[in-house]
């Protein structure tokens, strides 16, 4: 594995960093305070190709490799985790799921619009009674006439209110258990589909989060993604992609904590000198840097395997687990470096902590990641 970014990847990094500095960071605090969805930012990203990810150009994508994809997630995560969450769902979950499992008709119908940001996508797996236990979903889809009738609900769905299409998982053969789950592409205008916003979140306040409801929601037969019974397989494979985006975004959070802490520590004076000269302040900043370097390399290793087309569930789980926990550590230390000011929204570090915490929960909790890692090492499932 070559640890140096290619010229193309360096250019992408510079382009995204400039965009983040000019278009995202100036509005991040205000959008967070007011819970404002950054639709204008997402539209601009789509217009310059930052939503195309690894989707081939023939489907309207950017045709990037997975390392370049990680670079984009990191730079956006450095600026605003709410925006990064929206982009991760759009690219890693909606686009890649359709690219991997969709029919040619579904790819040509949905991917160009998703890559340009003309339509938004969501990934609807989690339910009130089924979070970590993905196989325990209760939403059903029954064949009716020339389509499928969906009944049930989903919760904690990122971009759920704003999405034009949602990839929805439902049981088409409940008696078959996990093997009876299928996936559907459901349009927001489907009869019987409604959504409500989840309010009062600790972080990601400018990223839309929703509960979705399906009451005799009728979708056409060709709305199914993949084949009947492919649902859980699609979900787990898609989560590998989603976790990769989260991990790369967390590297961005750690880097943002370093940048903010170094700047503040060099400006803030106590006892007649900058606090950057205090050993314990340097200790916290040094730990952030080590975590950033380690997390970045773990992400790149997973991306390297993705580029080779090699299964990377273990490596992606390792990267997601380490990077998300490290982001929380870095944000906690960044607040400590800032002292009392770090506890207010005058500085961005308190937002970094609020946004980092959810990364240890969604796309599989840290505890689930450890069970995935443990299963790979021992060959024994800790859960069924």
Catalytic residue among 22, 104, 363, 375: 363
Contact 165, 189 (CB under 8 A): no
Residue 21: what pLDDT? Answer: 98
Question: Does CATH number 1.10.10.10 belong to domain 7-120?
Answer: no
Residue 95's CB is within 10 A of a number of other CB atoms, namely 27
Collect all residues with Cβ–Cβ distance below 8 Å to 70 and sequence separation of at least 6.
244, 248, 251, 299, 300, 303
DSSP result, 47-59: HTTTT-TTS-GGG
| Cα distances (Å, whole numbers) of residue 265 to 166, 225, 252, 260, 282 | 45, 52, 20, 8, 9
Each residue's pLDDT expressed in tens, for the chain with a length of 384 residues:
778 999 999 999 999 999 999 999 999 999 999 999 999 999 999 999 999 999 999 999 999 999 999 999 999 999 999 999 999 999 999 999 999 999 999 999 999 999 999 999 999 999 999 888 888 899 999 998 889 999 999 999 999 999 999 999 999 998 888 899 999 999 999 999 999 999 999 999 999 999 999 999 999 999 999 999 999 999 999 999 999 999 999 999 999 999 999 999 999 999 999 999 999 999 999 999 999 999 999 999 999 999 999 999 999 999 999 999 999 999 999 999 999 999 999 999 999 999 999 999 999 999 999 999 999 999 998 876
**What three-state secondary structure class fits 210?**
strand
CATH pick for 233-378 out of 1.20.140.10, 3.30.450.20, 1.10.540.10, 3.40.190.10: 1.20.140.10
Collect all residues with Cβ–Cβ distance below 8 Å to 213 and sequence separation of at least 6.
153, 193, 194, 195, 196
Residue 3: what pLDDT? Answer: 80
In the block, which residue shows the tokens 């078959």? Answer: 176
Q: Are strands 165-171 and 121-124 parallel, antiparallel or unpaired?
A: parallel
Residue 132: what pLDDT? Answer: 85
Confirm whether 118 is a catalytic residue: no
Lookup: tokens for 328: 């929380």
Alpha helices in the chain (DSSP H): 7-19, 25-34, 39-47, 66-79, 81-88, 96-101, 104-116, 231-267, 279-308, 313-338, 349-358, 366-378
**How many angstroms from the chain centroid is the CA of residue 217?**
27
Contact 202, 252 (CB under 8 A): no
CATH pick for 122-231 out of 2.40.110.10, 3.40.1530.20, 3.30.1240.10, 3.40.50.300: 2.40.110.10
Residue 251: what pLDDT? Answer: 98
**What three-state secondary structure class fits 35?**
coil
Return residue ranges of the chain for CATH 2.40.110.10.
Answer: 122-231
Residue 277: what pLDDT? Answer: 96
Return residue ranges of the chain for CATH 1.20.140.10.
Answer: 233-378
Q: Are strands 147-158 and 140-144 parallel, antiparallel or unpaired?
A: antiparallel
Collect all residues with Cβ–Cβ distance below 8 Å to 247 and sequence separation of at least 6.
295, 298, 299, 302, 316, 319, 320, 322, 323, 324
Return residue ranges of the chain for CATH 1.10.540.10.
Answer: 7-120
Lookup: tokens for 23: 């278009």
- Taking each helix axis from N to C end, the angle separating 104-116 and 39-47, rounded to the nearest 10 degrees, works out to 110
Contact 168, 126 (CB under 8 A): no
Long-range contact set of residues 104-111: C-beta below 8 Å, sequence gap at least 24: 105/222, 106/185, 106/222, 106/225, 107/59, 108/59, 110/165, 110/185, 111/55, 111/59, 111/60, 111/61
In the block, which residue shows the tokens 């539209």? Answer: 43
> What's the DSSP call for residue 269?
E
């Amino acid at each position: 594995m070559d640890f140096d970014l290619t010229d193309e990847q360096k250019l992408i990094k510079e382009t995204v960093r400039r965009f983040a500095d000019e278009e995202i960071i100036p509005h991040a605090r205000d959008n967070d305070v007011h819970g404002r969805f950054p639709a204008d930012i997402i539209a601009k990203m789509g217009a310059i190709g930052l939503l195309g990810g690894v989707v081939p150009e023939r489907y309207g994508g950017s045709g990037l490799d997975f390392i370049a994809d990680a670079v984009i997630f990191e730079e956006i995560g450095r600026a605003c985790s709410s925006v990064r969450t929206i982009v991760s769902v759009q690219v890693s979950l909606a686009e890649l799921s359709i690219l991997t499992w969709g029919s040619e008709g579904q790819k040509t119908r949905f991917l160009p619009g998703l890559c340009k940001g003309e339509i938004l996508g969501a990934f609807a797996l989690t339910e009130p009674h089924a979070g970590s236990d993905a196989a325990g979903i209760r939403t059903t889809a029954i064949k009716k006439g020339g389509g499928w009738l969906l009944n049930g609900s989903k919760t904690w769905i990122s971009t759920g209110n704003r999405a034009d299409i949602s990839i929805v998982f439902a049981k088409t053969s409940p008696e078959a258990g996990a093997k009876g789950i299928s996936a559907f592409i459901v349009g927001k205008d489907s009869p019987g589909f409604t959504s409500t916003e989840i309010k009062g979140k600790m972080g990601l306040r400018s990223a839309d989060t929703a509960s979705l409801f399906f009451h005799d929601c009728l979708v056409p037969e060709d709305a199914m993604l993949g084949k009947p019974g492919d649902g859980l397989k699609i979900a787990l494979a898609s989560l590998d992609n989603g976790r990769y985006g989260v991990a790369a975004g967390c590297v961005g959070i750690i880097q943002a904590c370093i940048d903010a802490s170094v700047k503040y520590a060099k400006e803030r004076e106590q006892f007649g000198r900058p606090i950057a000269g205090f050993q314990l302040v340097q200790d916290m900043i040094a730990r952030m840097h080590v975590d950033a370097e380690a997390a970045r390399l773990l992400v790149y290793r997973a991306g390297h395997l993705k580029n080779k087309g090699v299964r990377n569930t273990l490596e992606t789980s390792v990267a997601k687990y380490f990077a998300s926990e490290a982001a929380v550590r870095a944000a906690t230390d960044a607040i400590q470096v800032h002292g009392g000011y770090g506890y207010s929204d005058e500085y961005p570090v308190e937002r970094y902590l609020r946004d980092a915490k959810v990364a240890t929960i969604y796309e599989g909790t840290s505890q689930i990641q450890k069970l995935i890692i443990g299963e790979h090492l021992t060959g024994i499932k800790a859960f069924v």
